[in-house]
A and B are shown apart, each in its own frame.
Chain A
Amino acid sequence: MKLKMKWILLTMVITITTVLTACEPLLVLDPKGPQAKTQADDIMLSIWLMLGIVIVVLAILVFVLLKYRASKQPKDYEPPHIEGSPIVEAICIGIPILIVIFLSIISVDSNYKVEATPEGYEDQEPLIIYASSSNWKWHFSYPEENIETVNYLYIPEDRAIEFKLYSYGPITSFWIPQLGGQKYAMSDMVTTLHLAADQPGEFMGRNANFSGAGFAENTFEVTAMTPVEFEEWVEEVHETASPLTSEKFEELLEPGHLGRSTYTGTHLEFSPAPEHDHGSTDNNVEEDSDIEDHETHDEEDHSNH
């Protein structure tokens, strides 16, 4: 009786979810760029594979429960003493090993893919955008176009984009689910995220890593457009927007939420991105030799271990 109740409930849940997913595809499984596509494919593949494993386990479980429950056994039945069988156990280890090897190959391959320029875009120069977070906003600097935006991002479609991520505060995580997975933005180094959109559209972007009181609203909008439209937008900004001064930027960094805004010039000129140099920035300015010292040190470290 109770067993049935449980199944009814389970099927209900499953039906509800399938109906839901059918109406509107889940963001992560609705990729609009090559990186997100790689990830979505991996996810779907692993879901099917894992579903298979769950079903096998469930089938064995239901089978033994139905067959060997006490009410079906004779009263005087004494279960046998079985130590274990090397062959059966070898199979139970062997099959998972094969699955893990298979998934490892896919995982490693995909990891190298998402950490490189998106496939099919290798021949063109990537658009570099510096994305930095502050409590609780996103600042996007286009050094080539000499533009800076706050809380919104315009990108041309069909072009590789290289995001340079860093933070003016807690660790944040830059995430546009439909274009690809996230990466951390931290205050003492710059991380790189390779994305591309293969069609125009509007996408949700957000900080995914908890960063304090204003975290929930720490979102931004991404618009992918044709290269021509993008060029037009750049020109328009140069004509209409005011320049970003360091005072204005300091103001923007104040904790809080802001709407969209647009500036010419970028904050990189007066407030450059952190360098990945083990934090001894100030030292290096005075003694240039120090930089080399550290670097050679590091390389030797490599070779040593």
Chain B
Amino acid sequence: MKELFPLKQVMGFAFSLVLTVVALMVYFTDMSYTMGMTVLLITAFIQAGLQVVVFMHAGETKDKRSIYVNIYYALLIALITIFGTLLVLVWDM
């Protein structure tokens, strides 16, 4: 905690740059739609998780459980809303 060099932050930053580059492969190389979406989904969610854990210190207090449940719940409802709506309005019309 008290060390001067912010190793955690630097590692986090480096890793998110790497993930951005991986995501960019979707643009610069010629891959199929499915493949591309898979890459984007993986890189985006890992990066988001990285921010929450490394930079936002989500797990550092005794409210850890409330915070994580809150995030997971929001994520669940968000995904239900997005995919549910697409199912209703686009895929099954």
A and B are partners in one complex rather than unrelated chains? yes
CA gap between A303 and B91 in the complex, in Å: 10
- Asked whether A304 lies within 8 Å of B93 as measured between CB atoms, the reply is no
- Asked whether B83 lies within 8 Å of A301 as measured between CB atoms, the reply is no
Contact of B34 among A189, A276, A298, A300 (CB under 8 A): A300
CA gap between A144 and B9 in the complex, in Å: 71
Which residue numbers of A lie inside 8 Å of B, CB to CB? 189, 276, 297-298, 300-305
- Asked whether B93 lies within 8 Å of A303 as measured between CB atoms, the reply is no
Complex interface: chain A residues within 8 A of B83 (CB): 305
List the A residue with the shortest CB-CB distance to B41.
A304
- Asked whether A302 lies within 8 Å of B33 as measured between CB atoms, the reply is no
- Asked whether B37 lies within 8 Å of A304 as measured between CB atoms, the reply is yes
Which residue numbers of B lie inside 8 Å of A, CB to CB? 32-34, 37, 83, 86, 90-91, 93
Complex interface: chain B residues within 8 A of A303 (CB): 34
List the A residue with the shortest CB-CB distance to B32.
A300
CA gap between A298 and B91 in the complex, in Å: 8
- The smallest beta-carbon distance between A303 and chain B, in angstroms, is 6
CA gap between A106 and B90 in the complex, in Å: 26
Complex interface: chain B residues within 8 A of A298 (CB): 90-91
CA gap between A189 and B89 in the complex, in Å: 11
List the B residue with the shortest CB-CB distance to A297.
B33
Complex interface: chain A residues within 8 A of B34 (CB): 300, 303-304
Complex interface: chain B residues within 8 A of A300 (CB): 32-34
Complex interface: chain B residues within 8 A of A304 (CB): 33-34, 37
- The smallest beta-carbon distance between A183 and chain B, in angstroms, is 13
